[in-house]
Amino acid sequence: MARPRILVLATGGTIAGMAGSATRHDYRPGQIGIEDYLARAEDLGLQADLDGRQIANIGSEDIGPAIWRVLHAQIAAALTDGAYDGIVVTHGTDTAEETAFLLDLTLATGKPVVLVGAMRPADAVGYDGLRNFANAVRVAGDGRAAGRGVLVVMGDRVFAARDVRKVRTRGSDDAFRGFPRGSVALVTPSALEWFGAPWREKSGARYTFSEHLPDVPIVYVNAGLDPDLIGRLAGPNTLGIVVAGVGEGNMPESVRVRLAQLASQGIAIVRASRVDEGLVDREPDDDTNRFVAARAFNPQKARLLLQLLLAEGIADPAAIQAAFDDPYA
């Protein structure tokens, strides 16, 4: 069987980080360049041919629209380039779920696109980056990954972009989880086991990528939240607000009243939850308030989806709700 040809796009993160000592507590993400990284990976005996490109070399807290634009363009070109069978993106873990979800919503799904990171820097005891990288290359070279959208590999688990979230700040084996669907595949030394069939029936990009996404702040609810905070977060260009509500997307009555006023003026309001595994169902009051329920999307993913919808001129709460019910329809 021909060896798959994989394009590796490097953005930095801990997977390319160095501490300068095996046991130091602090370290810098994004220190190893892609050429050096691929040279280190040579000893792994990967069953694939790799080309590398450096997109950035930074911590993922600094990744945003400008880098997403370059990444999106490079992946879109590679998807139509017969030279590549799959794409791996090395990325910091802090915002990997956001980059993965944005790409998932805005790229065609013809070939595997896999994000991978690490929880420990390259010179630390127990560096997990090369194992994760080897697993990501396996997944990107597997034709069965196609039709599952953008994937994230951490440890031996493979997650779908729509489900994946970072749930721990420490620990290399359980820092990521899929919700509500768990992991979608498991990489073992001898096999790559997929759980279930591909779920993306339509292979085209679902939404148009834009570097200039509308202003959509996240209002984080806490006990005793002052509704005036909303006025400080929402400016004249704000088109939508995501509420990181308590429990199932709840908020103090004074906050609800303020947000319902904004909704009646045409600002899109999406109720998500600040709870890690928060599932926000639609309630009868959402009709009167003109609110949207985020379902299983956490606030940061709800924000990206809402931004893409608003950028396409979709502002009606019922149409936004339909997209949150099934963003890939």
Site string for ligand DGL, 61-80 (x = CB under 6 A): x-------------------
Radius of gyration, alpha carbons of the chain: 20
Among all chains, which residue has been given the structure tokens 């951490």?
154
Q: To which H or E segment does residue 57 belong?
A: strand 49-58
Q: Considering beta carbons, is residue 93 or 106 the nearer one to ligand DGL?
A: 93
Q: Segment near ligand DGL (CB under 6 A), from 44-52, 87-95, 146-154, 314-322?
A: 87-95
CB of 300 to ligand DGL, least distance (A): 13
Token pair belonging to 83: 């030279």
Tell me if residue 131 falls in helix, strand or coil.
Answer: helix
The site for ligand DGL, by CB under 6 A, has a size of 11
Task: Say how far apart CA 207 and CA 235 lie, in whole Å.
Answer: 25
Preceding amide of 198 cis, omega within 30: no
Give the active site residue among 14, 93, 95, 99: 14
User: Looking at beta carbons only, is 174 or 281 nearer to ligand DGL?
Assistant: 174
CB neighbour burial string for 35-70, b if at least 16 within 10 angstroms, e if fewer: eebbeebeeeebebebebebbbbbbbebbeeebbee
**Which residue, 100 or 270, has its beta carbon nearer to ligand DGL?**
100
Which residue, 4 or 13, has its beta carbon nearer to ligand DGL? 13
**Minimum CB separation from ligand DGL for residue 240, in Å?**
26
**CA angle at residue 321 from 236 to 325, to 5 degrees?**
140
Asked if 121 touches ligand DGL (CB under 6 A), the answer is: no
Binding mask 15-54 for ligand DGL (x = CB under 6 A): --------------x-------------------------
Residue 14 designated active-site: yes
User: Residues in the site for ligand DGL, rule: CB under 6 A?
Assistant: 13-14, 29, 59-61, 92-94, 117, 119
